[in-house]
Amino acid sequence: MEEEKQRAAEQAKREVIQQNYTNLSNLSKGSQVNFAIPFFDVFDPRLQDYGVPVSVHGTIVYSIEDMDLFHSVNKNEAFSDETFQQKLRGTVTKFVKGVVTNAPTDAQIPVVQLERKILEISNLIQQYVKPQVEQLFGITVRQLDITRMNIDKESRGYRELKALTADLERERVMAQHNAQISNFNLQNDLNQEQLKMQSTLNLDTMKRQQEMQLGGQEQIQDMNLENQRETMRIQREEMQRASRLQTEQTFLGAHQANLSAGVLNNATDNGINAFRQQTQMGASMGLGAAPQMPGMGGAPQMPGMQMKQATPQVSYMVGVNGQQAGPFDWNQLQQLVSQGQLTQQTYVWKQGMPNWAFAGQVQELQPLFMNAAPPQMPGMPPMPGV
């Protein structure tokens, strides 16, 4: 009886195993297993003191296409469909976690960019995990994808790493800027040196040609040398002209400042003189109820008195040696005319003019070039009887 029970138990065990293999063999059409790896720390090589929590979710699609290979690999295992998937899920989780943990070092993927680099991570997992799983389980992995990766952005490690990368980015930008400036200066020095060498070679070539050539060739050599000298002379003149222009611009700036100061002083003097005249008039009117001064209170103007003509309100730019200067008001323009800096053949321009024009052609500036300047208003004569 005991032997029969033992044989029956072994037969039942064999039937269960056979049934499991039968169920697994039905997986030849493919089966999918989802896996989810909770948050685990991933360390960036630049900040080893703080780990950044990362979670990974994905799927694996597999099939059993060679049952003999499957039985050979798993001959010591009594798998059911559920237990097989549990073991497969645990193995895939281990391998995927290892790939993600080493990605910042092995693949140079920054931790803060893991979420955006999900395709690169999936490719790494395909290359490393797929062959390992196929060899361990005797199955064919049709697809192994990472569907989602999450970074705990509230963690201290993420905040520390984000601040570090921001500082490194600023340093990188500054280093790149300094490198560009250094390259520019180096290239400029090389160009200047090349020009010097080329000039020296040209001079040496002309000298050798002069020594080697005879007759008519000597004349050609002389012409080439003269052309070279003329070119150098023109270059020197251009440099001198540029220096003169810079000096004239500096002089015009200083001159304009002096003009402005002179206008301010004239305005101050005119105000003081007007105040003195008003004081004298008040004093005269207060003496013994004297009769009203002629010219006051609507009476005819005192003989010899002239009202000072208002200064035109203008603002012109002036061209000097091909460079524009200004703007200048009327008093400043008068001083330029008196100093010979502004003539009727000088180009001028102001707001509203379509183009630059000669000063002599601008109607508004004609009084500047009149020979006779208006006489200065004479002082007020003393009142009769005072």
pLDDT in tens, 25-36: 445 567 899 999
Q: Are 349 and 356 in contact (CB under 8 A)?
A: yes
pLDDT in tens, 143-199: 999 999 999 999 998 999 888 877 655 666 667 777 788 888 888 888 888 888 888
∠ CA 95-96-101, rounded to 5°: 100
Is the pLDDT confidence value at 358 over 60?
yes
More confident residue, 321 or 248: 321
Q: Which of 144-153, 225-234, 236-245, 332-341 has the lowest mean pLDDT?
A: 236-245
More confident residue, 254 or 347: 347
Q: Mark out the alpha helices in the chain (DSSP H runs).
A: 2-25, 67-73, 81-106, 118-137, 156-212, 216-285, 330-338
pLDDT in tens, 26-70: 455 678 999 999 999 999 888 888 889 999 999 999 998 888 888
Q: Are 225 and 206 in contact (CB under 8 A)?
A: yes
Q: Which pLDDT value is given to residue 372?
A: 35
Residues ≥6 apart with Cβ < 8 Å to 60: 32, 33, 35, 88, 92, 133, 141, 143, 144
What letter would DSSP give residue 311?
P
- CA–CA separation, 231 vs 237, rounded Å? 10
Tokens matching residue 61: 């699609």
**What percent of the chain has a predicted confidence (pLDDT) above 90?**
28
Mean pLDDT of 329-355: 91
pLDDT band at 243 (very low <50, low <70, confident <90, very high): low
pLDDT band at 78 (very low <50, low <70, confident <90, very high): low
Q: Are 133 and 91 in contact (CB under 8 A)?
A: yes
- CA–CA separation, 70 vs 28, rounded Å? 11
Secondary structure (3-state) at 84: helix
pLDDT in tens, 247-259: 566 556 555 655 5
Q: Are 50 and 156 in contact (CB under 8 A)?
A: yes
| Cα→Cα distances 345→316, 325, 335, Å | 15, 16, 16
| Cα→Cα distances 74→24, 67, 71, 80, Å | 12, 10, 5, 12
Phi, psi dihedrals of residue 42, rounded to the nearest 5°:
-120, 130
Q: Which pLDDT value is given to residue 232?
A: 84
Tokens matching residue 55: 């979670």
Is the pLDDT confidence value at 304 over 70?
no
| Cα→Cα distances 49→36, 112, 150, Å | 26, 15, 21
